[in-house]
Amino acid sequence: MIDTKETVTPVIGLEIHVELATATKLFCRCRNRFGDPPNTNVCPICIGMPGVLPVMNRKAVEYSMKVALALGCQVAAFTKWDRKNYYYPDLPKNYQISQYDLPLSSNGYLEVPLADGSAKKVRILRAHLEEDAGKNVHDKPGFTGVDLNRVGVPLLEVVSEPDMNSVEEVMGYARAMQRLVRWLGASEANMQMGHMRFEPNINLHIARGGVTYKTPIVEVKNLNSFRALERTVEYEIARQYAQWEADPDGYSMGKLQKQNRGYDDATQQTVFQRAKEEAHDYRYFPEPDLHPVVVDDEWRDEVAATIGELPLARRARYMETYELSFKHADALTQDAPTGDLLDEAVKGGAEPKRCVNLLLGRAAALANERNCTIAQIGITAGGLAELTKMLSAGDVNATASGKILEKMIAADDSPRQIAQAQGLLVVRDAGQIEVWVDEAIAANPQAAQDARAGGKKQKRAFGFLMGQVMQKSKGAADPARVKQLLQQKLGP
Ligand SMILES: [Zn+2]
């Protein structure tokens, strides 16, 4: 139990490694693609053969600048590349090209939305570019394979200040970063494909009896899912507290080194790996084969101009202009194209709230089935606007609109053409509706009698007959007209 007279403040920073969505790798023309057969996207440059020269991928720098600018970072006018030396089987060159003392960008922040509606600014210390390493593959008993397809894939490393004080803030920050890099098109940020990896550093500041204790900082390496991140932070907070409580003076930052721990998915615990290495262990030195990167104002402004409205600003606009709830506005700003679809449909005359209902109803369900975003299911803003207008005019009902939307994905026909072809337009023809009403009454004499008799059974019988008529019309009859006719025929 935590003593009520003390306060325990988790202090957490997060490094996020984001693989950029470039077509090719950072310093060679090999394809940057997940899932290809092992060691098929490799060349002498990325596997470090002697005598080859790397050439920088301009697009990777632009994506990095775009993210940095969206984070409010300063983009350095001059940056260079460094070699970070270490030996590991997935790194055949024995060094990684990275940016050490002159990162591409620094000093920004990310606004993290919290559950209570407030937001927290988490400061960004720096964001720099480096090349990814390969992957050890443990799929054959007794052997470890090495897949070098990932070697040299551009990796943006975004380092936060230790500004987060709870699991909620860490998760909010990680998700906000995922949304941002996707939004900017800088990364697909697909966790299953390893596009995003987390390395939190965690310690506790514990105030008890007028003394503040600090537990040693722990860095947990290479977490590749949100779940692993959440469990790790929860586990470390509890573990560090228990260890501190057992020895408040011994288990402290001054007496013990920083340490690296790894997360074990099976036990959902972290395990000690080693005392944390420091920069000098890597013998950084400037990469002699690459030119420094010079970013002039013109290039920076050109990239800045491609950023556009950011997700939180758009969410606020939706709540303000379209009067959407936070939940709806948030759901529609998970990616930029889905919101673009809404904006264009509204420009085309669609009523915002009805349009949102369509998008977050049937369209979201279809996207979910297909494991894609709403925009990716393949409806056009024009079609969406037309369908929304048909709903507003009462030409189709909500059920029919869902069916039409589904057909719009497969066919080039307009919503109206689909509605006509499928018999989904609302039938307002009184003569036709009267035929259905008469048929329903004739086929269900008991219900008709109950409805006429009044009393307890009346309401239920009336509802049943309504349902029968709607069924006969395959949902197309105008419900108001059906109700009116039934009342006339069954009324007192
Ligand atoms: Zn290559």
**Cβ distance 119 to 112 under 8 Å?**
yes
CA of 42 to the centre of ligand 1 (A): 4
pLDDT of residue 61: 97
C-alpha distances in angstroms, 296 versus 78, 156, 308? 9, 20, 20
CATH code where residue 485 lies: 1.10.10.410
Q: pLDDT grade, residue 55 (50/70/90)?
A: very high
Given a cut of 60, whether residue 32 has pLDDT beyond it is yes
Instruction: Tell me which residue of 465, 471, 412, 463 sits closest to 440, measured CA to CA.
Output: 465
**Cβ distance 31 to 23 under 8 Å?**
yes
Portion of the chain with pLDDT greater than 90, in percent = 74
Q: pLDDT grade, residue 117 (50/70/90)?
A: confident
The domain boundary residue, chosen from 421, 438, 468? 421
CA of 3 to the centre of ligand 1 (A): 57
The letter for the amino acid at 246 is A
User: Are residues 450 and 369 located together in one domain of the fold?
Assistant: no
User: Are residues 117 and 53 located together in one domain of the fold?
Assistant: yes
3-state secondary structure labels for all residues of the chain: CCCCCCEEEEEEEEEEEEECCCCECCCCCCECCCCCCCCCCCCCCCCCCCCCCCCCCHHHHHHHHHHHHHCCCEECCEECCEEEECCECCECCCEEEECCCCCCEEEEEEEEECCCCCEEEEEEEEEEEEECCCEEEEEECCEEEEECCCCCCEEEEEEECCCECCHHHHHHHHHHHHHHHHHCCCCCCCCCCCCEEEEEEEEEEEEECCEEEECCCEEECCECCHHHHHHHHHHHHHHHHHHHHHCCCCCCCCCCCCEEEEEECCCCEEEEEEECCCHHHHCCEECCCCCCEECCHHHHHHHHCCCCCCHHHHHHHHHHHCCCCHHHHHHCCCCHHHHHHHHHHHHCCCCHHHHHHHHHHHHHHHHHHHCCCCHHHCCCHHHHHHHHHHHHCCCCCHHHHHHHHHHHHHCCCCHHHHHHHCCCCCECCHHHHHHHHHHHHHHCHHHHHHHHHCCCCHHHHHHHHHHHHHHHCCCCECHHHHHHHHHHHHCC
Backbone angles phi, psi at 28, to 5 degrees: -150, 180
Q: pLDDT grade, residue 430 (50/70/90)?
A: confident
User: Are residues 38 and 159 located together in one domain of the fold?
Assistant: yes
The letter for the amino acid at 455 is G
Token pair listed for 7: 């306060």
What is the sign, positive or negative, of the torsion defined by CA atoms of 433, 439, 441, 444? negative
Given a cut of 90, whether residue 423 has pLDDT beyond it is no
Token pair listed for 432: 């036709």
Q: How far apart are CA 415 and CA 432, in angstroms?
A: 23
Q: Beta partners for 85?
A: 95
Q: Which of 49-58, 105-114, 235-244, 267-276 has the lowest mean pLDDT?
A: 267-276
The letter for the amino acid at 249 is D
User: Are residues 327 and 453 located together in one domain of the fold?
Assistant: no
CA of 124 to the centre of ligand 1 (A): 31
Q: How far apart are CA 149 and CA 156, in angstroms?
A: 18
Q: Which domain holds residue 436?
A: 430-490
The verdict on residue 183 lying in a domain is yes
Model pLDDT for residues 128-160, shown as the tens digit of each residue:
999 999 999 988 899 999 999 999 999 999 999
User: 428 or 393: whose pLDDT is higher?
Assistant: 393
The verdict on residue 474 lying in a domain is yes
The verdict on residue 105 lying in a domain is yes
State the pairing for strand pair 119-131/105-113: antiparallel
C-alpha distances in angstroms, 189 versus 174, 198, 492? 11, 12, 65
Q: Calculate the average pLDDT of the chain.
A: 92
pLDDT of residue 4: 58
Q: Which of 99-103, 329-333, 461-465, 472-476 has the lowest mean pLDDT?
A: 472-476
The domain boundary residue, chosen from 363, 388, 421? 421
User: Are residues 280 and 341 located together in one domain of the fold?
Assistant: no
CA of 26 to the centre of ligand 1 (A): 9
Token pair listed for 442: 């004739």
CA of 185 to the centre of ligand 1 (A): 23
Side-chain-side CA neighbours of 446 within 13 Å: the count stands at 3
User: Are residues 319 and 436 located together in one domain of the fold?
Assistant: no
**Cβ distance 54 to 93 under 8 Å?**
no
CA of 286 to the centre of ligand 1 (A): 21
CA of 134 to the centre of ligand 1 (A): 12
Residues 6 or more apart in contact with residue 400 via CB below 8 angstroms = 419, 424, 425, 426, 475, 476
How many domains are contained in the chain?
Answer: 3
Instruction: Tell me which residue of 194, 161, 231 sits closest to 14, measured CA to CA.
Output: 161
CA of 177 to the centre of ligand 1 (A): 28
Model pLDDT for residues 261-271, shown as the tens digit of each residue:
999 988 989 98
User: Are residues 120 and 68 located together in one domain of the fold?
Assistant: yes
CA of 183 to the centre of ligand 1 (A): 28
pLDDT of residue 1: 52
Instruction: Tell me which residue of 172, 154, 167, 184 sits closest to 71, measured CA to CA.
Output: 184
The verdict on residue 145 lying in a domain is yes
CA of 492 to the centre of ligand 1 (A): 85
- Whole-model pTM: value is 0.81
User: Are residues 51 and 125 located together in one domain of the fold?
Assistant: yes
Given a cut of 60, whether residue 88 has pLDDT beyond it is yes
User: Are residues 148 and 166 located together in one domain of the fold?
Assistant: yes
The verdict on residue 359 lying in a domain is yes
Model pLDDT for residues 163-207, shown as the tens digit of each residue:
999 999 999 999 999 999 999 999 999 999 999 999 999 999 999
The domain boundary residue, chosen from 297, 326, 351? 297
The verdict on residue 328 lying in a domain is yes
User: Are residues 293 and 314 located together in one domain of the fold?
Assistant: no
CA of 91 to the centre of ligand 1 (A): 13
The verdict on residue 410 lying in a domain is yes
User: Are residues 385 and 451 located together in one domain of the fold?
Assistant: no
Residues 6 or more apart in contact with residue 53 via CB below 8 angstroms = 45, 289
The verdict on residue 204 lying in a domain is no
pLDDT of residue 169: 97
Q: pLDDT grade, residue 22 (50/70/90)?
A: very high
Please tell me which of 106-110, 395-399, 482-486 the model is most confident about, judged by mean pLDDT.
106-110
Residue listed under structure tokens 């979201």: 364
Q: How far apart are CA 417 and CA 413, in angstroms?
A: 6
Model pLDDT for residues 309-319, shown as the tens digit of each residue:
999 899 999 99
pLDDT of residue 118: 85
Instruction: Tell me which residue of 46, 128, 48, 125 sits closest to 82, measured CA to CA.
Output: 128
CA of 27 to the centre of ligand 1 (A): 7
Query: Could you count the other beta carbons within 10 Å of the beta carbon of residue 283?
Result: 11
Token pair listed for 82: 């460094």
User: Are residues 17 and 159 located together in one domain of the fold?
Assistant: yes
Burial environment of residue 363 by CB neighbours within 10 A (0 to 12, 13 to 18, 19 or more): buried
CA of 30 to the centre of ligand 1 (A): 4
Q: Which of 71-80, 170-179, 278-287 has the lowest mean pLDDT?
A: 278-287
